[in-house]
Amino acid sequence: MLKLYDRELSGNAYKARLLLALLDVPYQRIPVAMKEGRNLVDSAYAGLNPRGQIPTLVDGEDVLWGSTAILCYLALRHDPAGSWLPRDPLPMGRVMQWLELAQNEILGGLFRARGIVKFGLPGDLPAAQATAVSALEVLESRLRGDRWLAGPEPTIADIACFPYVALAWEGGVEIASYAGVRRWVGDVQSLPGFVGMPGIEGQSVG
């Protein structure tokens, strides 16, 4: 069975949990402890993930680290129809645009603001919140006219961008004025098989 190195409150690990739930793929969760705001990385875990972060996915002999790689891998392996990650150049490129946003303005803004406000991590809160707003504006520019981020159907682009947007309030960032973003958050939560996490409504993965 797949193993996911994970933590309940991690939005990055939740991306993997959410796609696994939507694809109905069974897996085992292995929690990674924290110490002083960082992952507690022993040498065994460092051997699995040289970045010392979560999530990490273990599939038999194979190891993949980072939410981007895990989302792509799971979609390619467990969704042969290619709905969650289209295989053709332009549709896949469109998904990748949003995976890059998820790793840039969304992590540098929404993720960081949440870390400062919710977990007391050091950082420049006004700067993080300003970056968060720029992320929301980019998302709104798409979602005010389109239902999903990368194409006519939901893809891993939506999964990658969703968690820290839905958790924006935990970093003191309001999404109320972004009508398209707000509607999209509800649409993601309505997907068959959707699961939540602490801070995001929906059945949590136990």
Instruction: Please name every residue paired with 29 in a beta bridge, in sequence order, or none if there are none.
Output: 4
Q: Does residue 128 interact with a second copy by CB under 8 A?
A: no
* Contact predicate 86/156, CB 8 Å: no
Smallest separation, CB 137 to a second copy (Å)? 8
Smallest separation, CB 93 to a second copy (Å)? 3
d(CA 18, CA 154): 13
Nearer to a second copy, 149 or 200 (CB): 149
Q: Does residue 69 interact with a second copy by CB under 8 A?
A: yes
The strand ranges marked E within 7-75 are 27-31, 34-35, 38-39, 56-59, 62-65
Nearer to a second copy, 66 or 196 (CB): 66
Q: Does residue 168 interact with a second copy by CB under 8 A?
A: no
Q: Does residue 106 interact with a second copy by CB under 8 A?
A: no
Q: 23 vs 8, 26, 89, 150, 178, CA distance in Å?
A: 19, 9, 23, 19, 29
Choose one: 20-28, 34-42, 86-94, 178-186; the region binding a second copy (CB under 8 A). 86-94
Q: Does residue 51 interact with a second copy by CB under 8 A?
A: yes
Q: Name which of 84, 71, 75 is nearest 12 in CA terms.
A: 71
Indicate which single residue of 10, 39, 68, 131 sits in contact with a second copy (rule: CB under 8 A). 68
Indicate which single residue of 104, 169, 191, 205 sits in contact with a second copy (rule: CB under 8 A). 104
- The token pair at 194 is 């959707």
Q: Tell me which residues in 130-149 interact with a second copy (CB under 8 A).
A: 134, 137-138, 141-142
* Contact predicate 73/84, CB 8 Å: no
Q: Does residue 90 interact with a second copy by CB under 8 A?
A: yes
* Contact predicate 201/24, CB 8 Å: no
**Run of H or E including 2:** strand 2-6
Q: Does residue 153 interact with a second copy by CB under 8 A?
A: no
Residues contributing to the site for a second copy (CB under 8 A): 50-51, 62, 64-70, 72-73, 76-77, 87-90, 92-94, 96-97, 99-101, 103-105, 107-108, 134, 137-138, 141-142
